């Protein structure tokens, strides 16, 4: 057991783990990851790095953060941190009660107790541990525990994050104003941890209204969506989801994503006379002069439909009922046709006649079911507290050793950053010397 403990707490191990983790993260930003790259980008990278494929596939480097070896490294780091935190707590307690003046700098040879106490107090050194042979005063005694707290916070965050990653689940839905989403298991994007089943909505959900509030400069200041959500038994509840404000429903957290805007209902009539209906959801413009954009793949056309829209065709109001939609048909990246429409109008887009039938608001909502976040935030708070205590308020000690004449020989000591407190040390020394004189 002592061997394992020594291995776990070895400083070389903790340093190696820090460097290995940093190295893995560097690799994850050099090799495209499945979680944030498109299949096309990954294929292009693989074609350009044929000689590295065996290594990338062997180690699963396109999905570094879900590899067992990554989890093992994190667990080893968390274990090392946990054991080291216990050691540091014990060391902090030892330092707090220690009266040894080893490494201390002698400031005065003979000072009466009352003078020493008075000088310590005036320099904000607190009396901590008094024995028959010594006096100990410490400035910022809590500083002993800073490093231990920093490490305890990290352990909490790593463990709770692991738990959240294993048990958390979420799903995203794009909803259109006035429409109900009835299928509880169909999402526009979802993910869940290996110990969790896919997320299911408690009941049907309907987007009643999307509200965007603008400031005097026509900039959106708040986006919120009123929704009606059922619990499966026929009861419905009305909720408002707002950007940057979490709503809760039966244990679920509901987030309003930044994606929202106008959805355009279009009727296409192609060269053969066939009619196709499409609804394209385009991102809300940020001002009157700027457009919102979106690219769309149409099942019945080999071309990409690239759309942008301005909030108001008359350039007057961000909440106008007459937005201007500009559509381009792209063959690869080359524009082959273009048309601009307002609601109710039609025009030609290449060989297709297109009519803008109507406009609907849309919004994306994210439903999250996770537990463990309070522990993560508690870990954050402890890290911040520990870090601030450790780096901002390191302790300094003033130790008096009783001499035969009942006066005290005084030592000053800073366990870390000694030279940084040279002025303070000098001030205390001057005060003591004045007393001696």
Partner 1 sequence: MNLSLELYIAANWAVVIVYVLATIANAAGVIFKNGRLERTGFWFAGLGLVLHSIVIVCWWAEVGHGPYMAPNEVLSSDAWMIMVCFFIFLRLHPRIRPASMLAFPSSFLLLALSMFYNPGIRTLPATFRSVWLIIHIGLYKISLATLVISFAFSVFYLLKERRESGWLKQLPALETLDIYSHRFAGFGFIFWTIGMLAGSIWAHQSWGRFWGWDPTETWSLITCLMFGAYLHLRRFFLWKGTRAAWLFIACFVISLLTLFVMATLSGSIHSEYFK
Could you list the residues that contact partner 1 (CB under 8 A)?
Answer: 11, 14-15, 18-19, 21-22, 25-26, 28-29, 33, 35-37, 65, 161, 170, 212, 215, 217, 219-223, 243-246, 253, 255, 257-258, 286-287, 290, 366, 368, 373, 376-377, 380, 383-384, 387-388, 390-392, 416-420, 422-423
CB of 46 to partner 1, least distance (A): 17
CB of 127 to partner 1, least distance (A): 26
How many Å apart are CA 242 and CA 226, to the nearest integer? 9
Q: Which is nearer to partner 1, 179 or 222 (CB)?
A: 222
Q: Which is nearer to partner 1, 168 or 323 (CB)?
A: 168
CB of 56 to partner 1, least distance (A): 17
Q: Which is nearer to partner 1, 287 or 340 (CB)?
A: 287
Task: For residue 268, give every residue at least 6 positions away whose Cβ sits within 8 Å of its Cβ, in sequence order, or none.
Answer: 275, 276, 277, 278, 298, 300, 349, 352, 353, 354
CB of 220 to partner 1, least distance (A): 5
Question: Would you say 63 and 70 are in contact if contact means Cβ atoms under 8 Å apart?
Answer: no
How many Å apart are CA 46 and CA 304, to the nearest integer? 25
Give the start-end residues of each E strand in 75-219: 105-111, 126-130, 134-139, 169-176, 180-181, 189-192, 205-214
Q: Which is nearer to partner 1, 231 or 424 (CB)?
A: 424
CB of 68 to partner 1, least distance (A): 17
Q: Which is nearer to partner 1, 202 or 394 (CB)?
A: 394
Quick one: DSSP state of residue 245? B
How many Å apart are CA 334 and CA 4, to the nearest integer? 64
CB of 38 to partner 1, least distance (A): 10
Burial class, 240, CB count within 10 angstroms (exposed 0-12 / middle 13-18 / buried 19+): middle
Question: Would you say 148 and 386 are in contact if contact means Cβ atoms under 8 Å apart?
Answer: yes
Q: Which is nearer to partner 1, 263 or 370 (CB)?
A: 370
Q: Which is nearer to partner 1, 18 or 109 (CB)?
A: 18
Say how far residue 173 (Cα) sits from the centre of its chain: 22
CB of 400 to partner 1, least distance (A): 26
């Amino acid at each position: 057991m002592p061997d394992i403990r020594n291995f776990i707490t070895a400083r070389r191990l903790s340093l190696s783990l820090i460097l290995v983790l940093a190295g893995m993260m560097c690799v994850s930003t050099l090799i495209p990851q499945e979680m944030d790259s498109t299949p096309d980008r990954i294929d292009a990278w693989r074609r350009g790095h044929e000689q590295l494929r065996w290594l990338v596939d062997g180690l699963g480097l396109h999905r570094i953060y879900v590899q067992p070896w990554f989890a093992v490294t994190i667990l080893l780091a968390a274990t090392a941190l946990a054991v080291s935190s216990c050691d540091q707590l014990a060391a902090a307690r030892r330092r707090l009660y220690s009266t040894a003046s080893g490494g201390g700098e002698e400031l005065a040879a003979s000072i009466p107790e009352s003078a020493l106490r008075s000088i310590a107090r005036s320099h904000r050194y607190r009396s901590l541990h008094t024995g028959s042979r010594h006096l100990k005063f410490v400035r910022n005694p809590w500083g002993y525990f800073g490093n231990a707290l920093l490490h305890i916070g990290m352990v909490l965050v790593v463990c709770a994050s692991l738990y959240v990653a294993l048990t958390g689940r979420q799903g995203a839905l794009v909803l259109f104003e006035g429409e109900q989403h009835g299928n509880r298991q169909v999402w526009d994007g979802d993910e869940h941890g290996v110990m969790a089943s896919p997320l299911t909505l408690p009941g049907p959900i309907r987007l009643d209204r999307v509200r965007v509030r603008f400031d005097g400069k026509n900039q959106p200041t708040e986006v919120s969506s009123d929704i009606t959500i059922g619990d499966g038994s026929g009861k419905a509840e009305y909720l408002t989801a707002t950007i940057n404000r979490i709503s809760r429903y039966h244990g679920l957290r509901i987030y309003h994503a930044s994606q929202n805007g106008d959805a355009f209902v279009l009727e296409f009539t192609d060269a053969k006379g066939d009619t196709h209906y499409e609804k394209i959801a385009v991102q809300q413009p940020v001002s009157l002069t700027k457009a919102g954009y979106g690219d769309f793949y149409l099942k019945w056309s080999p071309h990409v439909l690239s759309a942008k829209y301005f909030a108001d065709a008359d350039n007057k109001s961000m909440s106008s009922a007459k937005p201007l939609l500009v559509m381009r048909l792209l063959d690869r990246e080359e524009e082959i046709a273009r048309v601009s429409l307002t609601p109710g109008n039609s025009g030609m887009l290449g060989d297709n006649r297109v009519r803008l039938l109507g406009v609907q608001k849309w919004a994306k909502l994210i439903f999250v079911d996770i537990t463990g976040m309070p522990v993560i935030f508690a870990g954050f708070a402890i890290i911040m507290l520990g870090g601030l205590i450790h780096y901002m308020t390191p302790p300094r000690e003033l130790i008096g050793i009783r001499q035969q004449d009942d006066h005290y020989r005084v030592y000053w000591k800073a366990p870390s950053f000694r030279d940084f407190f040279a002025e303070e040390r000098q001030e205390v020394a001057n005060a003591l010397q004045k007393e001696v004189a």
